[in-house]
Amino acid sequence: MKAAVLHAPGQAMTIEDVEVDKPQRREVLIRTSAAGLCHSDLHFMDGKYPHPVPVVLGHESAGVVEAVGEDVTYVKPGDRVITCLSLFCGHCEFCLTGHMSLCQSPEVKLPPGKAKRLRWRGENLHQFLNLSSFAEQIVTHENAVVKVDRDIGMDLAALIGCGVVTGYGAVVHTAKVEPGSIVAVLGCGGIGLATVNAAQIAGAGRIIAIDVDPFKLELARQFGATDTLIGDANTAKQVMEMTKGGVHYSFECVGLKQTTEQSFSMLRQGGTATVVGMIPVGVKIELMGSDFLRERRIQGCMMGSNRFRLDMPRLVDFYLQGRLHLDQMVSGRLKLNQINEGFDAMKRGGVARNVIVFDQ
């Protein structure tokens, strides 16, 4: 099969012929239909997060099951599925207490460098987040997929696999936004737009979208933002003035020190800041200690605290009802050999989500 291989941080990926194993016990083989280009992949490409190389990146995907290993009961060949990096074992402390996105059981979630499902030039090729979606086929555990029974394009379904479920979950599960609340979203890429959309679905009374890219702010309006603001050093102060005291909930969807600190500074008393973006390894966040006396909170978020086998079918329904705006999120549909161009466009700005479509 063809796959995009990252040989070292900072280098362009190359399209290579890669071998993939047959599915073993409780594993499935998926023919990849589409894969979104997520900013999280870019963090690993740029070396902000370490990962063994060479590696096939990609983790936001959808496809069709081609084969299953022994003891697979959830899917069968021919099923359309969305993948998710939040593999769950179903019986650890986190799973049993409803925090499946935090499951780290090596029974299902192999750590970086341990998965041996791909080979290139006779050597093991590293699998990314137990998926490696930038390839024509994926072998993964059955607990990394959810069936798609409704009529939705696979290019749109792929977006649900990471960006959309993360933004939705951050609002609904992690922060538990209440109807009528004032919400601010810092960063309006794919995850930020999904967060804006989710805040609208949750019934937020006012949604302030913040970004440095006017294109993304215009998109945010289409996704439900009631106000837009060009981000700068005075963003928190501007939000405090706009809202006469701050927001109930803020969502940092960029992964930067400055925006994380701003997300906390723009809270009203009792407000909650949720950090959704991936802050680079080694970066420290500085907050005013006295602000905690006003019961301001700041919390992390892993993949929207999702329960993806429940969340994703609901998100498909929201799309079919016209409440989830997936069509507007797709900026371009690319071939696999255009993947580096897609990430270059992400760096330049002016795009929400580019999607690799494998059958075009």
Domains and CATH numbers, the chain: 2-161+305-357 (3.90.180.10), 170-301 (3.40.50.720)
Arithmetic mean of pLDDT over the chain: 96
pLDDT exceeds cutoff 90 at 202: yes
Q: Which of 59, 141, 248, 325 is flagged as catalytic?
A: 59
| Residue 5 CB neighbour total at 10 angstroms | 23
Nearest to 5 by CA among 136, 138, 134: 134
pLDDT of residue 359: 80
pLDDT exceeds cutoff 70 at 252: yes
Q: What is the band of 116 on the pLDDT scale with cuts at 50, 70, 90? A: confident
59 is catalytic: yes
Q: Which of 84, 103, 162, 188 is flagged as catalytic?
A: 162
Scanning the chain, the segments in alpha helix (DSSP H) are 39-45, 93-96, 154-159, 165-169, 190-201, 214-222, 235-243, 257-265, 308-320, 339-348
Nearest to 263 by CA among 283, 282, 291: 291
Element holding 120 (H helix, E strand): strand 118-120
pLDDT exceeds cutoff 90 at 176: yes
Q: Which two tokens stand for residue 176?
A: 């538990």
Q: Are 248 and 181 in contact (CB under 8 A)?
A: yes
For residues 153-176, give the mean pLDDT. 97
pLDDT of residue 360: 52
pLDDT, tens digit, 9 for 90 and up, residues 143-162? 999 999 888 999 999 999 99
Residue with tokens 């498909």: 316
pLDDT exceeds cutoff 70 at 204: yes
Distances (CA, A) of 120 to 52, 66, 184, 207, 239: 14, 21, 45, 47, 51
For residues 114-143, give the mean pLDDT. 95
For residues 298-309, give the mean pLDDT. 97
> What is the identity of the amino acid at 286?
E
Q: What is the band of 42 on the pLDDT scale with cuts at 50, 70, 90? A: very high
- CA 107/CA 275 separation, integer angstroms: 28
Q: Which of 33, 40, 86, 250 is flagged as catalytic?
A: 40
Q: What is the band of 306 on the pLDDT scale with cuts at 50, 70, 90? A: very high
Q: Are 198 and 251 in contact (CB under 8 A)?
A: no
38 is catalytic: yes
Instruction: Give 237's Cβ-side CA count (13 Å radius).
Output: 3
pTM: 0.95
For residues 336-354, give the mean pLDDT. 94
Residues 6+ apart with CB under 8 A from 98: 307
For residues 326-352, give the mean pLDDT. 95
- CA 192/CA 195 separation, integer angstroms: 5
- CA 177/CA 101 separation, integer angstroms: 19
Lowest mean pLDDT among 55-64, 190-199, 342-351: 342-351
Q: Are 330 and 159 in contact (CB under 8 A)?
A: yes
Residue with tokens 């030039």: 121
162 is catalytic: yes
Please give the angle made by the CA atoms of 327, 332 and 338, to the nearest 5 degrees: 150
For residues 104-130, give the mean pLDDT. 92
Q: Which of 43, 126, 173, 248 is flagged as catalytic?
A: 43
